[in-house]
Amino acid sequence: MRKSYIDNLRWVTVVLVVIYHVIYMYNGQGIVGVPGKITDLDVQYYDVFQYIVYPWFMLLLFIVSGISSRYYLEKHTGGEFIRSRTTKLLIPVTVGLIAFQFIQGYINISFSGVADSSDMPFIGKVFACILSGIGVLWYIQMLWLFSLVIVLIKKIDKDRFWNLCRKTPFWVLVLIAALVYGAGQILNTPVIVCYRFGLYFLGFLLGYFVFSHDEVVEVTKKYFLLFALAAAGLCTAFCIVYFGQNYADNPVYRSPLFLLYGWFGCLAMIGGFAKFFDFTNSFTKWMSSHSWGLYVFHYLGISAVALYIAKPGLAPAWACYLLSLTAGFGLAYLLYEIISRIPVYRWAVLGISKKKKKET
């Protein structure tokens, strides 16, 4: 039976990712790779939205992916799962880079001036466009790798540990915060800091082994208020201590406040959605069925507005924010509707082997 709260949790988180990237694009924290601050404000206080969501939203997506992987493997073989994940995840970040995402790559290298550099040969720019086209697809790169590993783990475990995790109590969920802190210290790549293999693999495993059990989800529902209060308190402390600093890099993203808030934020979101948003209607169905396309394409519209309108100063700051937000959603949905209907091309860009029937 499909879990409506998981579908809702996924698409809502993706929507938050889109809003985050709009604010991130014009952030006042000096984070490189984007145009940055375009207002005359001494302090962009609304930038705090980045600090509110960044510690937990990608960790949560990996947890949800772990849950979904477990559900899929209950009805399919490991080989079927690998073939499915390879089509859905690996193809868009290999073939898809050449078929479409090089456009995103061109915009990315244009921010840094590489596209206009006379020092780099044309072939170098071509490769730079392709590689930079990965952009937000780093998430599905890691997810594909984790999917391969979980098949091996399942084969070795034979569900012994998974069954044990069915009895995970409240106090264990709290103590897992220590594991999250430890995982946040290891396997973090330098320069491209989004590849946090230790933290995100732990999140994926927790989704697979722990949160795929209805019994554990019931615990998060029962103690939702406590988790929400803990998350709110840690969020407030995190924002006060680190606002103005680069939250996406060392040492902030390895700090106890960052990781503890990230964990309790995930617990609160899982418990809250299981408790209050376990329903389906026409709107949630549509959002859920389009969340994949929104994630894959949203950054293109946001960054295009930033490069061609905001950076040259062709519109006031408020208009650039509004245009970026509109383009983030509008262009993403438009591209998804078009490309998902084109045979072969939809496979290359979206990992869709055949057109899915629309849900009624």
* Tens-digit pLDDT profile for residues 287-303: 999 999 999 999 999 99
Which one-letter DSSP state was computed for residue 39?
S
* pLDDT at 39 (0 to 100): 95
Is pLDDT at 8 greater than 80 in this prediction?
Answer: yes
pLDDT, one tens digit per residue, over 224-239 is 999 999 999 999 999 9
List pLDDT tens digits, range 234-276. Answer: 999 999 999 999 999 889 999 999 999 999 999 999 999 999 9
* Per-residue pLDDT at 355 exceeds 70: no
Residue 302's pLDDT is what?
A: 97
The three-point CA angle 20-26-31 to 5° equals: 85
Residue 83 has pLDDT above 90, yes or no: yes
**Cα gap 148→151, rounded to integer Å:** 6
132-141, 187-196, 261-270, 322-331: which has the minimum mean pLDDT?
187-196
What's CA 308's distance to the chain center, in Å?
A: 25
Is the CB of residue 112 less than 8 Å from the CB of residue 125?
no
Q: Which residues contact 258 (CB under 8 A, 6 or more apart)?
A: 55, 184, 238, 242, 247, 252
Task: Tell me how crowded residue 194 is: count the other CB atoms within 10 A of its CB.
Answer: 15
Angle, vertex CA 169, rays to CA 167 and CA 173, nearest 5:
120
Nearest in space to 11 (alpha carbons), one of 297, 265, 287? 287
Q: Which residues on neighbouring strands pair with residue 127, listed in sequence order?
A: none
